[in-house]
A = this chain, B = another copy of it.
Amino acid sequence: MAALETQLTELQKQYDDFKTLGLQLNMARGKPGSGQLDLSAGLLGAFPSYKLEDGTDARNYGILNGIPECRNLFAGLLGINADRIIAGASSSLNVMFDTMASLCLFGTGGGKPWHYYKFEGTPVKFLCPVPGYDRHFTICEELGIEMIPVPLLEDGPDMDMVSELAAKDPLIKGIWCVPLYSNPEGVCYSDEVVDRLASMETAAEDFRIFWDNAYGVHHFEERTPLKDILAACESAGHPDRTYYFFSTSKITFPGAGVALVASGEKNINELKKHMSAQTIGHNKLNQLHHVQFFKTPEGIRHHMELHAKELAPRFQMVLDWLEREISGTGYARWTSPKGGYFISLYTKPGCASRTVELAKNAGLTLTPAGAAYPYGNDPEDSHIRIAPSYPSLEELEKAMKLFCICIKLAATEHLLKEEKEN
């Protein structure tokens, strides 16, 4: 106990010293750094032309499902049939919300609108691998869709649990998935998981996989392969089970990029019908400029290698600091992703909120503890999401120094409290 108290005093002193530096740094979200944004400077330059390949004037109305050259570019990049793609909205979050809202309003495949169940008093449910992306959970919460947490394992969601739940409850209408470098775990789905998701029996005929491939080309070095979920669903006799989302928010400019949804033929026709009441067509000039900038799928892949050069050293710095300062203490464990935007860190149970609070009080804003769980509820109070992309390396170094002190300080406080209680 005395040793712990000495440690507390020492850490408290380091922490207080840090506070006097007046750090002001926000690492709450996965924002690209300015070096990454500079890579897309070409999009802020003049348009080479406003004409599409077929002569259509991209400045005027029309083309609900996105310009062909843009759908073809993404089709080539992702291995999806261009006819199954609706491209053009500015962000995939918007497309995901609209798709979910559309299911609530209209239903799909002849099933009842999902909000019908809500108004009947028995809301539909979604499976949520945890930890996961907080904005997915916000969509469900806003629309009154009940969330059921499912553990995310090393190669994807716990498929035994997913299969069992999906098979028995017709109110379970779907599952959220970030299949590559998942937010925030960095997990990549195995072929087996993809196949099981595609082929499992579901009590709901209108069960839908929301496949948010947000980091589909966001490798640091080697390209982790991902099995084609749309093809797997088609082979398994469920061609319309999956909505596949993708966007260039973390390729070009967040919220000013080009997003897409891809799915089976029936789903796409359904979405187009509803969309035709919502819009005459998305911003074609932005689509065209993206095509003019990248030209080919290989152009995007090369661009992502330049992104990796910005990101990889930041991730390495986070890992180096954790390794140096926390390794062997038992105060935390963490992930070492090979792509994406986040590192997950697990403190000792009961220490995550306090760690985040300590950091905040010293000028470092992190994602709120628990944010990666439905309703913000991490039952262990253990998970913290680290987003290394936005700060400069210099800022990140300071942030990590502080963060490591906070991890140790919170853990020490916790240990002391436990000792006193025993």
Contact = CB atoms under 8 A, between A and B. Distances in A.
B254 A61 contact: yes
Most buried by B among A60, A91, A98, A276: A60
Interface residues of A, number: 53
Contacts of A97: 277-279
Interface string A19-38: 00000000001011010010
A279 B255 contact: yes
Interface in A281-298: 281-286
Interface string A108-135: 0000010110011000000000000001
Given A277-B139, A279-B93, A286 B284 contact: no
A44 B44 contact: no
Contacts of A284: 255-256
A253 interface: yes
Contacts of A139: 277-278
Contact of A101 (B61, B105, B138, B282): B105
Given A46-B44, A119-B115, A119-B116, A255 B61 contact: yes
Contacts of A281: 255
A282 B59 contact: no
A334 interface: no
A53 interface: no
A44 B255 CA distance: 19
A134 B218 CA distance: 43
A274 interface: yes
Interface in A216-255: 249, 253-255
Nearest to A94: B279
A214 interface: no
Contact of A91 (B40, B91, B279): B279
Interface string A49-89: 01000000101111000000000000000000000000000
A278 B60 contact: no
B50 A44 contact: yes
A123 to B, nearest CB: 13
Interface string A250-272: 00011110000000000000000
A59 B285 contact: no
A359 to B, nearest CB: 21
A403 B286 CA distance: 37
Nearest to A120: B119
A142 interface: yes
B60 A90 contact: no
Nearest to A91: B279
A116 B115 CA distance: 9
Contacts of A135: 277, 280
A143 B94 CA distance: 19
Interface of A: 29, 31-32, 34, 37, 40, 44-47, 50, 57, 59-62, 90-91, 93-94, 97-98, 101, 104-105, 113, 115-116, 119-120, 135, 138-139, 141-143, 249, 253-256, 274, 276-286
21 contacts: A31-B61, A34-B57, A44-B50, A44-B285, A59-B256, A93-B278, A93-B280, A97-B277, A97-B279, A101-B101, A101-B105, A105-B143, A113-B115, A113-B119, A116-B119, A119-B120, A135-B280, A138-B277, A255-B279, A255-B280, A286-B286
Given A29-B61, A45-B46, 7 more contacts: A37-B59, A44-B46, A44-B47, A97-B278, A97-B279, A101-B278, A255-B280
6 A-B pairs closest in CB distance: A142-B277, A97-B278, A44-B47, A256-B283, A61-B254, A37-B59
